[in-house]
Amino acid sequence: MSASPHPDDEHSDSSVTTIAIGENDPDDYTNTPGGRGLSSCLKSMHRKDLIDILKTAGENYIEVTKLIHSRLSQGMKDELRMIHCKKSQVLDFTCCLQAARTAIDDADSRVRFLQSWGVIPDNRNDDFTNIIQLITDHCGAFAHPDTRRNALSVLCKMCGMILAMAEGGDYVEERRKYQWDMSLENAIFGIVYEMTLAERLAVVDDAALWPRLVHIYEESDDKLFPGFVEVINEFPKPQNDETEIDEELNVTGEYGQDDIEMTEEDEEEGYTGDTGF
């Protein structure tokens, strides 16, 4: 008897398919080619093959490496994780600042060109956002603590660029469509999340970095850096008898522009006292 040409024929043999499908595991059967979902494929693979695939994926996609490191670090004590972190290379992201300024100028040029059309380029793939992603990609769970500190400092200065632009000028509303403030906010929160308690305490004690973070919070509103309070709340309260602490928001009392001293590095980079950066 010849095989039925109709796959839905009631006499067709579905035993091979039913063996691969778990009755209580709906994830095992999806619309993927061959009817095998990712969960089913992984369960049927050998450990060595899984390790080889993850190793290859991690070498080609930094997001995979970060995910693996994050999961691994969750079961570690801070002291043990720091041993691994301090074996990593220290990275400096200062060169990203000029690239960020160039990205802003390029974005403004595109906005001017497309203004008459009422549209702007894809905000998910502009150079400024890509720079933010590049920085955060190197600040995972096993990054050197100095790398995370350097990244936090540069991202704060990039926030200063956004704050300065928000004070006036053309295309303010158009720039907001890029959602750069939200990208920076999420990046900073992600880096702080990977910090140990000791690292967060060191940031609070940093006479240059902590005031920058507080300044961003103080300048935030419902349109610009609306969730930055969540970043500040990730840090322990500053222990300073002379400074009044806001119990609700975990931020120190008053940080005026006179309280934020300019460093030689900042002056060389062209930051003014107008934004506190």
Phi, then psi, of 252 in degrees rounded to 5: -70, 160
Coil, helix or strand at residue 252:
strand
- Cβ pair 234, 189 in contact under 8 A: yes
Domain match, 144 and 157 both: yes
pTM across the whole model: 0.67
Percent of the chain with pLDDT over 70: 67
Give which of 188, 165, 61, 177 is closest to 126, Cα–Cα. 177
38 vs 215, which has greater pLDDT? 215
Q: In angstroms, rounded to a whole number, what is the distance separating the alpha carbons of residues 107 and 175?
A: 8
43-52, 142-151, 250-259: which is most confident: 142-151
Total number of domains in the chain: 2
Q: In angstroms, rounded to a whole number, what is the distance separating the alpha carbons of residues 213 and 236?
A: 13
Classify residue 258: in a domain, yes or no. yes
- Residue holding tokens 């955060």? 136
Tell me the mean pLDDT in the region 55-61.
84
Domain match, 27 and 47 both: yes
Classify residue 61: in a domain, yes or no. yes
- Cβ pair 97, 104 in contact under 8 A: no
Classify residue 10: in a domain, yes or no. no
Classify residue 238: in a domain, yes or no. yes
pLDDT value, residue 125: 62
**167: Cβ contacts below 8 Å, ≥ 6 apart:** 274, 275
Domain match, 42 and 93 both: no
Classify residue 5: in a domain, yes or no. no
**170: Cβ contacts below 8 Å, ≥ 6 apart:** none
The model's pLDDT over 132-186, given as tens digits with 9 standing for 90+, comes to: 999 999 998 999 999 999 999 999 999 999 998 887 666 667 677 788 999 999 9
Domain match, 234 and 119 both: yes
Average pLDDT of the chain, as a whole number: 76
Classify residue 276: in a domain, yes or no. no
Classify residue 180: in a domain, yes or no. yes
27-36, 120-129, 133-142: which is most confident: 133-142
**204: Cβ contacts below 8 Å, ≥ 6 apart:** 210, 235, 236, 238
pLDDT confidence band for 11 (50 / 70 / 90): very low
Domain match, 198 and 221 both: yes
pLDDT value, residue 94: 95
Domain match, 109 and 47 both: no
Res 242 pLDDT > 80: no
Domain match, 181 and 228 both: yes
Tell me the mean pLDDT in the region 190-208.
94
Of 26, 51, 84, the one marking the end of a domain is 84
pLDDT value, residue 95: 95
Please compute Rg for the chain using Cα positions.
25
pLDDT value, residue 177: 78
Q: In angstroms, rounded to a whole number, what is the distance separating the alpha carbons of residues 45 and 63?
A: 22
Domain match, 103 and 77 both: no
Of 61, 84, 107, the one marking the end of a domain is 84
pLDDT value, residue 57: 84
For 180, the domain range is 89-269
pLDDT confidence band for 12 (50 / 70 / 90): very low
Domain match, 93 and 227 both: yes
Domain match, 104 and 72 both: no
Of 84, 119, 134, the one marking the end of a domain is 84
Give which of 155, 271, 259, 150 is closest to 211, Cα–Cα. 259
Amino acid at site 147: T
Provide the token pair at 80: 């043990």
pLDDT value, residue 36: 66
21 vs 105, which has greater pLDDT? 105
pLDDT value, residue 187: 96
16 vs 8, which has greater pLDDT? 8
| Residue 235 C-beta-side C-alpha neighbours within 13 Å | 31
pLDDT value, residue 9: 45
Classify residue 46: in a domain, yes or no. yes
Domain match, 189 and 124 both: yes
